[in-house]
Structure 1
Amino acid sequence: MTHAIEAADVAAFFAPAEKDKAKRVAGVPVEKELFEQRHEKDNLRWAGKLLAQIEDHAASALFKEYQYRLNKNQTLSANIWLRKSVEQIREHAARFPLPLRMVASELGRANIAREWSNACAAIVQEKTANFTTPVNAEQLLDAAMEPARKWGISPLLPSFSKACPHAEISDQHIDMAVSAVARLQDAEWWERQITRAWRRYAEHVAILIGKVRKGVSAYVSQRSLQDYRARKQAGAAWLKTMYAINPELELEVPLADAVKASVANPEIRRMELMVRMRGFEEVAEEQDLVGEFYTWTAPSRFHAWTIIKDKDKDKGKDKGKDKTKPKKTVRNTRYDGSTPRHTQRYLCGQWAKARAKLARLGVRFFGFRVVEPHHDGTPHWHMLFFVHPSQRLLLRWVLRKYACEHDKKELAKSYKPRFDWSAIDPAKGTATGYIAKYIAKNIDGFNMDWDEESEEAISTAVPAVAAWSSLWGIRQFQQVGGPSVTVWRELRRLREATQNPILEPARKAADAGKWAAYVDAMGGIDAARKDHPIQLAHLVKPAASKYGEDVAKLTGLRTANIFTSVNGTATGIMVGMSEAQTRHQGWELSRTGLGERSELPSGKRSELPLSGDSRAPWSSDNNCTRGSVLAEKDPLDREMAMLGLDARDKKLLLNGAVIEIDGLFVSIRNGCLNTCRQRPNVRPEYDKLDHDLEPLKSGKAYWKRRIQGELFTGNTPVNEWLKTVPEHDLGDVIMQIDDMLLKERQLNPLTYKEDMLLVQLQQLIEETIADSEFWRLYLE
C-alpha cells in the first residue's frame, strides 16, 4: 500500500518544535537575557521580521552582530545599524527579478538562462513577423533589450544616439546591433551574465556582514576562495586532457605545457613585468628622469571595514607583541554600500581627469600602475612613474588634486590617508625594487613570506588576491606609456634574423630581453602607438564568430611605410610594408594527439571533439615555430591562392580595388585579406582605377538602381555615395534623387514621414539644390 506524501507534510515533519522556534532567529540562538522587557521583546519580533527579508546565511551573521551590540548597551544604534544593513542587502538583491533561491544553484541558473533567452527570441520573432518583415535596427534592439534591463545586464550596444542626425547609421552600428540581438537570444550568454551577477552579489553580502576582512578572511570570502580554487582545479584537469594540433604542419603540443610556457604561467608573467619595469628604469636613466612612487586610496565611504589603531604601538609598547595576531577591525559608519567594482570605477574616473589635466599641462611621464585590494576587498592603486625633474612637483600636485577631490572634510588633518608619495632615492634602492613586492604579492608571492595588509602568510594571501581580481573583473597591472607588449611577445617568437632593417633591431632587443632597446627601436618612449614602426598583423574572417562578428586572428607583425634617412635627411628610399608570420593558422583542440588520431579508423576521425582555429599555443620561449615565415613569404599569397587569385590580382587589391568571385567580394584593408557577401565601401581615391578596368557606367536606369539599392536602403552614407558620382553626372543624379523622393512622398505619405532616412535625405538634397554655387556649376 502506497501513500502520497505532500511536500508540506515532509516540511512539517522535519521542522523544529514550536517551542524551539521561539528561541532562534535566522538559525541563531536567542540570548534570553537581552529580550526580557516588553520593549526588548518588541525589538526581537521586529528584528525577526526584518531579517526574514534576506537570505538565511546573511541574516544569521547580522543577528549575531545585533546581539553583540545589544550586549554593549547600544540598543538604539544597534537597531539603526540592523535596519541600514538589511536595506543595503535588499537594495542589491533588487537587481534580480526572481527570488534569489532560484539563482543560487548552477542548475537553476541554467534553466533561468534558457527561459529568458527564449523570451528574447520570441520578441525578435514577433517584431519581425517570423523573420519576414524588415525592422528598424534601433527599434528591434530596444525591444529585445527589455528582458535584460530587468536583470541590469547588457551586451555591448551601438551608440545610435551619438550618430550624426543628418547622416545615415553606419554599417558598424548595424553590425553591433545584430551581434547584440544574437547574444540576447543565446542561453549560454545569459547563464554567464547571471552567474557573474550572482557571484558578485553573494560576495558583496559577505562584505556587508563582515566575512571579508582582516582576521576573518582577507580580500575575499572563504566561499568565493573555495569556488575560485575549484574552478582552477577543474581548468587544470581539463588542460591535461587536451592537445593543440596542427595536422597541416604535423605539430602537436600538450595544451597544459603550452599554457605553462605562456604568460598565463604566474612565474613567466612576473618575470616579464620585472623586465619591462627594469627597461623603463634604464630609459629614465638615459634621459636623466627621476622616479616617483604614489599610492591612491578611495574615500572612506567606499570602505566597509576599518582597522582600529593599536594604542600600545603608538606608545612604543608593542615590542613583545605577537606579530601574527591580527589587528581588530570594526564597521565603517561612513560606508555607503559600494562594491569593489564601484570603487575601481571611481578611481578610473579620477585617473582619467588627472591624465587629461597632465596632457594639457604638457607633463611627460611613463611607468606602471598596480591595483591591489585592502583587507576588506576595496581596491587601491600603487603607481611608479618616471618624469623630468622640472615636472616632478607638477605631476605630484595634479595626482594629489584628483585623489583628494571629494569628501575633503575627512582630510582636515592630512591628505596622506587618500594620497601618499615618495621620491625614489637611488642610494636606498632602485625603482624596480620599490614595486617588486607589489608585483610579487599580486602574482605568485616570489621571495615573500608575510603579507602585511592581511597579516597572513603570503601563501594564503596570493590565492585570495587572485580570486578577488577574477571575481570583480579588476585589471591588476597597467603599463602607462611605452610601446605594445604584444608586439614584444610576437617578436620573441622570431628565432631567425630577418632582412628587414626596421624589424631586426626590435627583434634582437626582444630576443635578448632588453626592453629599453626595444623602446628605442619602436621610436622612443614618446612615440604614439599609431606612429610605431611595427604593428600587429591580423587575418580578418568576416562574420566568423558565434554572434556574427568579424574575427581578427593574430598572424604576426607588419612594418609601416617609412622613408630611410641619412643624418636626418630623407634619401627617398621606401622600405615598404612587409610582414613576418609568427603564428600558423589551422590549429585545433583535440583530446587525442596526432599519433593517436592516425591509429583510429578513418570513419571515426571526424567524431573527435575539436574546436577550430584556436590560436597557436606557443609562448615567447617556445621553439616550436621552426623558423618564422618572413616578408619574402607573404601570408597573403597563401590565402589568395586558395581563392584562385594571382600576383596581378594582389597588385590591384593592394591599390584598394575590390574583386568579386562568385558573389564573394575580396579586398585588402590594413594589410589583411577580407571576404564578404556585400560589396565594401570603395575609397574615393581608387575610383579612377575601377574606371580603367571597366567601361564607365552611367544612364538614368543605372543611377536609379544605385539610388534605390544603396541610398534608400541606407547601405552607404550619403556623402560617401555622392563622392562616387562623376562630376558630369552629379547634377542629373541630384535632380533624379529629388524626383524619386517626391514620387515616394506622393505615393506613400504616411510611411514616408516615419522613415527618418528618407526625410533626412530629402533635407540634404534640398539644401544642396538651394546652394548657389552648386546651382551655378551643375544645374544652370
Structure 2
Amino acid sequence: MSTELAPTLARRAPCIAIPDYIAGVKVNKALFAGPTGPEDLTFIDRKLARLEQVTAGKLFGEYQRRRQQYQAKSANLWLRMAADTAQAQQDRFPVPIRRINEEARREAVAREWATQVNAIVSHLTQGFTVPQPAAELLAAAMAPARQWGFSPVLPDLSGEVTDKHLDHAASAVARLQDEDWWLRQIRRAYQRHRELVAIMAGDVRRGVSPYVSHRAFMDYRSNKVAQARWLADMLVVNEDKGLELSLAEAHAASVSNPEIRRVELMVRMRGFEDLAWEQGHAAEFYTWTTPSRFHAWNTVKEDRGRSVRNKRYRGTSPRDAQAYLCRQWAKARAAMARAGITVYGFRVVEPHHDGTPHWHMLFFVEPAQRDQLRDILGRYACEHDQDEIKNHRSARFDVLAIDPAYGSATGYIAKYIAKNIDGHRVGDDYEAEAQANETATNVAAWASLWGIRQFQQIGGPSVTVWRELRRLREAVKDPLIEPARVAADAGNWAEFIGSMGGVSLPRQDRPIKLAHLVTPCASKYGEDLRRLVGVTSAGGCSMRTRLDGWAVVKKSPARGCGERSELPLSGGSRAPWSSDNNCTGRIELPSLAVELAGAGLDAVDRGRMEAGAVVVVDGLYHWIRDGRLYQSRHRPQFGRSPAKNGRKGWAEDRDLEQLQQHRLNHQAMAVLAGDLPLDEYIEAAPDTTKAMQALDNQLDKEYREAPVSFRQDQYLIMLSGFVASFQGWGEL
C-alpha cells in the first residue's frame, strides 16, 4: 500500500470500537491500532461469525499470534484458509455444531436420527409386516446417514442377490436403527473435527503438544483409566473347569499389553530377517512421506527445529493423509504384482509432530528385483506435486540398503516399533523433543483418534494361527500341525513360516487354518457370531485351543455372587425381507461397573449413590437402586418429606449443596476440554462466584498435572486470565 493512500483509507475506514474479547479471547488492541484495523476486525467478525465459539476462539488466538509475529496480510490469508476449512468441516454436520459438542447432546441427536430411520423402515414395511425389496429398503434407510457421511459396511446388491446378501443388508439396516451405532459415529466425527481445528490453530506440533492436542491426550488417558478400573473390577471364570482369573491379569498377558505386543513384533521381524539371510535376499528400508499440502506445520532445522506454518497446507486431516498413502501403496502393490516382485517384512506408520502420518517399510526382496522395486516405490511416492521436490526426491522417498556387516535389519527397525508402542530404550524422541517413553502415549492417542493401523505385516502366514498354536503345550499327532506348533512354541518365526508353506503362499492354500464356531443370528444386529475355538489342518485334524464356558463376572466379597458379563448373546428383530427373521433372544443387562464407566462415574460417585445420593453429570440425574444404575433428565422423587426442619432437613440441604458442587466440577472440566462454551457455563450457574471458583480449581489441577502443556495452551491461558479478572468482584 502506498504511503499517499494510507491517510485516505484511514479517513474512509469506519470508526469501529475495538472489543475487549472476540470469541472469548482477549483482544490485543495494539495489533489493530493501524489504519487497516477496522477493516480487519470486520473481516475477522465475518469469518468467525458462524463458527463454534471454541473453534472461533482458537483460530482468533492463533490469528493474533501470527499478526504479531508476521504481518497483518499474512495473518489474514491464514485466517481465510483456516476459517473456510473449519466452516466446511462444520457444514458437514446436518445439525448445528452446538447440538453435538457435549455427550448428553450427542446422545439426544443419536436417538433422534435412529428414530428417524426406524420411522422410514416402519413406513415402507407397514409396521414391519410387509416385505420390501432389499435394495429399496436399504437405500431409504441410508438417506439420513448419507447426510452425515456415515455408512455401515454395505452389501453389493447390483448383481445376483443371495441369502448372504440379504442377511448383510438386514444387519446394515439394523445398525442404522440403533442409537448406539449413531452415537459412536457422531462422537468420532465430532472428536476428529475438533482435533483438526486444533491442528490448524497450532495446538498440535513440536513445542506445544506433539502428535495430538492436549485435550485429545487427556480424553484418551481418561478412557484408559476407566478401562483399567473396569478390568480391575472384573473376573473371567470357567465354572465347568473350576478356573478363575482376574480380567486385568488376562489383559496384561495378551497382546493388548504394549510390552508383549512389542516383543512379538520383534520376534516376527527377526524371523523374517533370519529367513531372508538364509535365502540370500536383500534388506531394504524405505520411508514414504506425503506431499507438502498434507502438513500443517514444518520445522526449521537451522532454528533449533522451531515449528512454522506450512503455506502449502490445505486443511487436510491425518486421516486424509493416511488415505492418500494407502492409495499410492495400492498402486505400487499392483505394479509389483505385474512385475512378479515378491516382498515380505513390515510397515510401520508413525506421525510427524503435527500429526501427519508417514510410513517406514522394511522389506526383504531378491537382489535381482531390488532396483525394480525401488523404481516402483519411488514412482508412486513422488507421483504428485513434483514441483515441490524437484531434485530433492529424498524429501518424499528415502531408501536405505541394509548391510548385515554393519547391523541387523531388526535392530534398525526396533526403535520405530518401540517408539510407537511404549518407547522402550529409545531415549529421545527428536520429532517431539521429549523422551520416547513419555510421547508413546501421545502416539497411541493419535492412532486411536484417527483410526490408523500402526503396524502391518507384509507377506508371511497368519499371526493368529501362530498365537493359537502357542496355546498347545502337548505334542499332537498331525504331521502338519506338529512342526508348526513346535516352531511357534519355541518362538521361531522363520521355522513357522517354513511349516506354513513359505512367505508367498496364499492364505487359502495354507496347511493350517483357524477353526471357528458359528452361532447364527447371535449379534445385536442379527449377524452370525464367529467364535475362535482352535485350528484345523489340511489333513482334516482339528485341535481345540480354547475352552468353552468362560464368563466375565464382577468381583464380589462372596465369589458366588458375581454379576454375569454384560456381553449380549443375541440381537433383536431384523428387517422383514429376510426369510429367517426369527433371530431373537435375551440380552443380558450390563454390569453395574460397565454402566458407571459408560456414564463417566467413578468409585466415589458409586459410593455416594449406593448410600442414597443422586449424582448429576451433564444434566442427567444418576442414582442406584437394587444394584442397578438409573438415569433421568428429571430429579427422582423418593418420597422424602419436603420439610426442612431438624437434622434430616439439614442433611438434605448438605446433600443438595454437594450435588451442585459436583455438577459444577464436571461442567468446569467440560469447559477446560472445550466441550462446554464458557458463556453457557456462566449463564447456567446458579452462583457465579462458586462457578468461577470451580473453574479456578480445575485450572489449578490441570496446571499441577501438566505444567509445560498448560503454559503452551493458549485456550487454558485465556481461561486463567478470564478467571483472574473476576477475583474480588464477587457475584456478577
What are the within-5 Å matches in structure 2 for residues 30-69 of structure 1? 30-69=27-66
Q: Is the 8 A contact 2:349 2:454 kept in 1?
A: yes
Aligned equivalents of 2:530, 2:146: Cα separation in 1: 30
What are the within-5 Å matches in structure 2 for residues 642-721 of structure 1? none
Q: Matched residue of 2:301: which SS?
A: coil
Query: By how many angstroms is 1:290 displaced?
Result: 1.2
Which residue number corresponds to residue 596 of structure 1? 558
> Which of the numbers 464, 479, 484 marks the counterpart of 2:457?
479
Q: Between Structure 1 and Structure 2, whose CA radius of gyration is higher?
A: 1
Q: Is the 8 A contact 2:419 2:437 kept in 1?
A: no
Which residue number corresponds to residue 139 of structure 1? 136
Q: Is the 8 A contact 1:522 1:533 kept in 2?
A: yes
Aligned equivalents of 1:285, 1:34: Cα separation in 2: 64
Aligned equivalents of 1:527, 1:340: Cα separation in 2: 34
Aligned length: 559
Which residue number corresponds to residue 199 of structure 2? 207
> Which of the numbers 62, 73, 78 marks the counterpart of 1:76?
73
Which residue number corresponds to residue 340 of structure 1? 318
**Closer, same or farther: CA 224–20 of 1 in aligned 2, 3 Å:** farther
Query: By how many angstroms is 1:389 displaced?
Result: 1.0
> Which of the numbers 28, 33, 37 marks the counterpart of 2:25?
28
> Which of the numbers 550, 565, 575 marks the counterpart of 1:587?
550
Q: Is the 8 A contact 2:51 2:87 kept in 1?
A: yes
Q: Which amino acid aligns with 2:221?
A: R
Which residue number corresponds to residue 124 of structure 1? 121
Aligned equivalents of 1:280, 1:537: Cα separation in 2: 26
Q: Matched residue of 1:282: which SS?
A: helix
Q: Is the 8 A contact 1:69 1:78 kept in 2?
A: yes
Aligned equivalents of 1:75, 1:464: Cα separation in 2: 34
Q: Is the 8 A contact 2:63 2:75 kept in 1?
A: yes
- Deviation digits for residues 476-525 of structure 1, max 9, x if unmatched? 00000001100000000001111111111110000011111111111122
Aligned equivalents of 1:72, 1:338: Cα separation in 2: 24
Q: Which amino acid aligns with 1:474?
A: I
Are residues 1:105 and 2:105 paired? Answer: no
Query: By how many angstroms is 1:146 displaced?
Result: 1.4
Q: Is the 8 A contact 1:26 1:48 kept in 2?
A: no
Q: Matched residue of 2:393: which SS?
A: coil
Q: Which amino acid aligns with 2:479?
A: P
**Closer, same or farther: CA 549–608 of 1 in aligned 2, 3 Å:** closer
Higher mean Cα deviation, 82-91 or 41-50?
41-50
Aligned equivalents of 2:17, 2:552: Cα separation in 1: 58
> Which of the numbers 174, 185, 188 marks the counterpart of 1:193?
185
Are residues 1:409 and 2:387 paired? Answer: yes
Q: Is the 8 A contact 1:442 1:466 kept in 2?
A: yes
Which residue number corresponds to residue 289 of structure 1? 281
Aligned equivalents of 2:487, 2:78: Cα separation in 1: 60
Aligned equivalents of 1:393, 1:94: Cα separation in 2: 47
Query: By how many angstroms is 1:327 displaced?
Result: 2.2
Q: Matched residue of 1:463: which SS?
A: helix
Query: By how many angstroms is 1:361 displaced?
Result: 0.7
What are the within-5 Å matches in structure 2 for residues 421-440 of structure 1? 421-440=399-418
Query: By how many angstroms is 1:110 displaced?
Result: 1.0
Q: Matched residue of 1:90: which SS?
A: helix
Q: Is the 8 A contact 1:270 1:440 kept in 2?
A: yes
Are residues 1:395 and 2:392 paired? Answer: no
Q: Matched residue of 2:222: which SS?
A: helix
Aligned equivalents of 1:64, 1:676: Cα separation in 2: 59
Q: Is the 8 A contact 1:585 1:613 kept in 2?
A: no
**Closer, same or farther: CA 300–610 of 1 in aligned 2, 3 Å:** closer
Which residue number corresponds to residue 227 of structure 1? 219
Aligned equivalents of 2:462, 2:543: Cα separation in 1: 17
Which residue number corresponds to residue 243 of structure 1? 235
Query: By how many angstroms is 1:20 displaced?
Result: 10
Unaligned runs of 5+ in 1: 1-18, 312-325, 561-575, 615-674, 679-780
The percent identity for this pair of structures is: 54
Query: By how many angstroms is 1:592 displaced?
Result: 3.5
Aligned equivalents of 1:347, 1:153: Cα separation in 2: 22
- Deviation digits for residues 268-299 of structure 1, max 9, x if unmatched? 00000000000001101110111000000011
- Deviation digits for residues 25-74 of structure 1, max 9, x if unmatched? 22233333333355321221221232222122332232233334433562
Aligned equivalents of 2:207, 2:554: Cα separation in 1: 44
What are the within-5 Å matches in structure 2 for residues 720-731 of structure 1? none
Are residues 1:271 and 2:263 paired? Answer: yes
Q: Which amino acid aligns with 1:122?
A: A
Q: Which runs of 4+ in 1 moved over 4 A?
A: 607-610, 675-678
- Deviation digits for residues 241-287 of structure 1, max 9, x if unmatched? 11111222222111000000000000100000000000001101110
Aligned equivalents of 1:38, 1:414: Cα separation in 2: 43
Q: Is the 8 A contact 1:587 1:613 kept in 2?
A: no
Which residue number corresponds to residue 662 of structure 1? none
Which residue number corresponds to residue 362 of structure 1? 340
Aligned equivalents of 1:65, 1:208: Cα separation in 2: 9
Q: Which amino acid aligns with 2:105?
A: G
Q: Is the 8 A contact 1:215 1:327 kept in 2?
A: no
Are residues 1:611 and 2:563 paired? Answer: no
Which residue number corresponds to residue 247 of structure 2? 255
Q: Matched residue of 1:160: which SS?
A: coil
Are residues 1:280 and 2:236 paired? Answer: no
Which residue number corresponds to residue 111 of structure 2? 114
**Closer, same or farther: CA 73–482 of 1 in aligned 2, 3 Å:** closer
